[in-house]
DNA sequence: ACCTGAACACCGTTCAAGT
DNA sequence: ACCTGAACACCGTTCAAGT
């Protein structure tokens, strides 16, 4: 009876399912999202979820879109196109870092709602930069590809770091050590930047790359 | 120790397992790689595979590395750093297009063998370009992030296109139609480039982005 | 309309037992 | 050392049956 009244008070909705899915994904990772676990959290049966969502892919895409929409929520005002692009890029970098399951989810549903949201935000600024119409598509897809690619890579790094024990500098130190021991003939470059690996700042490097692309665009 | 005894013609080896896994992944996609299906193809039991590989992740990473090593096999000669970088970029773009499962596999094993191979190849050219030591890490990780990000995105597009029916121009036309019907106030940019979506060449846009980054690097 | 929960057809992985 | 194949503990998804 307690269970029944509980269910009545907060009826199952698509939104509630998505919110709980996000919580599950954030706390237990990609593998933690299970229809059984989700149903238990929502005090319902696994089959009930299918009344509101089509399948797991649909759920993942919806969860992803909810995060992206939230992060891109605040409309930018009074800033240069470059600054807005940088802000959007950092917002996505941080969002994917906070929710590492977004990367795979975005890749699995290309050109759907979340990606189009980002495309639009970046595209408006590409236009504001005065890039000719014929080059806008290439410009925005380069920017989009870079932002998502580096962010996903960074989140994956952080994630495996967490799985290995948490201490970031220890992990990086260990990796740097492994690189330093690579074959000197085959891997001269990797060996030479092993030290930099330990000191570098992913977020700053990411932003530097965005600036690189912006610079290239303006002198195209 | 030297093995004197004759090996069975069809003895199970790590290499044979990896080759068969690649064949399975290529023909049936990521979900097609199953220990049962793989064991059947190799005329053995599922458990036998675990004598040669640690788990599915290990297998996926090994398959991924085999492809990357093969594609980066030919050592570059007599070409400018820029041309070599472009060649490596295109090689990876085509490899990921041909084996779409590589994207997720690369992301799941960051900074392991395959990624380090690519890092080294790109890094040697970054060095040859005369980028200062202190900036080399940021430069190569920007390039790497862009190349993988756009390639993975492109492969995912092609993949879902295949799933939906195969006719690329029909799919793009349909997507362009959907974009053209988006809300005019919220999505002005996306609507405006819907037409370009139909005509653009992913591979050329990708290469244009590489050049953008190279240009930015040289004027940094 | 919405929900239940058992059932179906799968998975990856393990392990006693064989050769 | 290497392989077998049944068993375990899971999955996503479906669907008759309930309210």
Give residue-wise pLDDT tens across range A111-147. Answer: 889 999 999 999 999 999 999 999 999 999 999 999 9
Q: Are A196 and B136 in contact (CB under 8 A)?
A: yes
- Domain boundaries of chain A, sorted by first residue: 1-53, 76-218
Distance CA A159, CA B58 (A): 17
3 state SS for chain B: CCCCCCCCCCCCCHHHHHHHHHHHHHHHCHHHCCHHHHHHHCCCCHHHHHHCCCCHHHHHHHHHHHHHHHHCCCCCCCCCHHHHHHHHHHHHHHHHHHCCCHHHHHHHCCCCHHHHHHHHHHHHHHHHCCCCHHHHHHHHHHHHHHHHHHHHHHHHHHHHHHHHCCCHHHHHHHHHHHHHCCCCCCCHHHHHCHHHHHHCCHHHHHHHHHHHHHHHHHCC
Percent of chain A with pLDDT over 70: 94
More confident residue, B55 or A200: B55
Give A40-78 pLDDT, tens digit per residue.
Answer: 999 999 999 999 999 999 999 999 999 999 999 877 788
Half-sphere exposure at residue B169, Cβ-oriented, CA atoms within 13 angstroms: 1
The whole-angstrom distance between A107's CA and the closest CA on chain B is 6
| pLDDT score at B3 | 32
- List the one residue out of B147, B145, B143, B167 whose CA is nearest residue B155: B147
With a pLDDT cut of 70, the percent of chain B lying above it is 95
pLDDT of B150 higher than 50? yes
A47 touches strand D (CB under 7 A): yes
* Domain covering A76-218, topology: Tetracycline Repressor; domain 2 (1.10.357)
Which of A152-156, B28-32, B116-120, B156-160 comes out lowest in average pLDDT?
B156-160
What mean pLDDT is reported for chain B? 91
Q: Looking at chain A from residue 54 to 73, which residues have their Cβ under 8 Å from any Cβ of chain B? A: none
By Cβ distance, the residue of B108, B148, B220 closest to A149 is B148
Q: How many CB atoms lie within 10 A of CB B188?
A: 14
Nearest CA of chain B to the CA of A2: how many Å?
A: 41
Average pLDDT on A86-97 reads 97
Question: How sure is the predictor about B220, in pLDDT bands with cuts at 50, 70 and 90?
Answer: low
Q: So what's the pLDDT on residue B10? A: 67
| Range 90-149 of B in CB contact (< 8 A) with A | 103-104, 107-111, 116, 119-120, 123-124, 126-127, 133-134, 136-138, 140-142, 144-149
Question: Contact at 8 Å (CB) between B146 and A146?
Answer: yes
Lowest mean pLDDT among B11-20, B161-170, B208-217: B161-170
pLDDT band at B163; cut points 50, 70, 90: confident
Average pLDDT over residues A32-40: 97
Q: Which pLDDT score, from 0 to 100, does residue B6 have?
A: 34
pLDDT digits (tens, 9 = 90+) for B51-99: 999 999 999 999 999 999 999 987 778 899 999 999 999 999 999 999 9
Q: With CB atoms and an 8 Å threshold, state whether A136 touches B193.
A: yes
Q: Span A149-178, mean pLDDT?
A: 87
So what's the pLDDT on residue B136?
A: 95
Q: Does strand D come within 7 Å of the CB of B34?
A: no
| CATH architecture, range A1-53 | Orthogonal Bundle (1.10)
Question: Which pLDDT score, from 0 to 100, does residue A8 have?
Answer: 38
The model's pTM is 0.93
Sort out which chain B residues have CB atoms less than 8 A from A126's CB and list them.
189
Contact criterion met (CB below 8 Å) for A143 and A122 = yes
């Amino acid at each position: 009876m307690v269970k029944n009244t509980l269910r009545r008070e907060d009826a199952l909705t698509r939104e509630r399912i998505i919110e709980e899915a996000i919580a599950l994904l954030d706390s237990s990772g990609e593998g933690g999202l299970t229809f059984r676990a989700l149903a238990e959290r929502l005090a319902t049966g696994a089959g009930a979820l299918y009344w509101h969502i089509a399948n797991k892919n649909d759920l993942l895409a919806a969860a992803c879109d909810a995060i992206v929409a939230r992060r891109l929520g605040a409309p930018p005002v009074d800033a240069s196109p470059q600054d807005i692009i940088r802000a959007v890029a950092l917002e996505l970098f941080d969002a994917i870092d906070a929710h590492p399951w977004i990367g795979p989810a975005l890749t699995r549903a290309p050109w759907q709602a979340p990606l189009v949201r980002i495309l639009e935000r970046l595209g408006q600024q590409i236009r504001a930069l005065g890039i000719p119409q014929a080059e806008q598509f290439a410009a925005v897809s380069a920017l989009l590809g870079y932002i998502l690619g580096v962010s996903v890579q960074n989140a994956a790094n952080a994630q495996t770091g967490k799985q290995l024990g948490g201490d970031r500098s220890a992990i990086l130190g260990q990796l740097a050590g492994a690189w330093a021991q690579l074959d000197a003939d085959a891997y001269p470059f990797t060996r030479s930047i092993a030290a930099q690996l330990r000191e570098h700042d992913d977020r700053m490097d990411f932003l530097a790359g965005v600036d690189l692309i912006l610079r290239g665009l303006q002198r195209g």
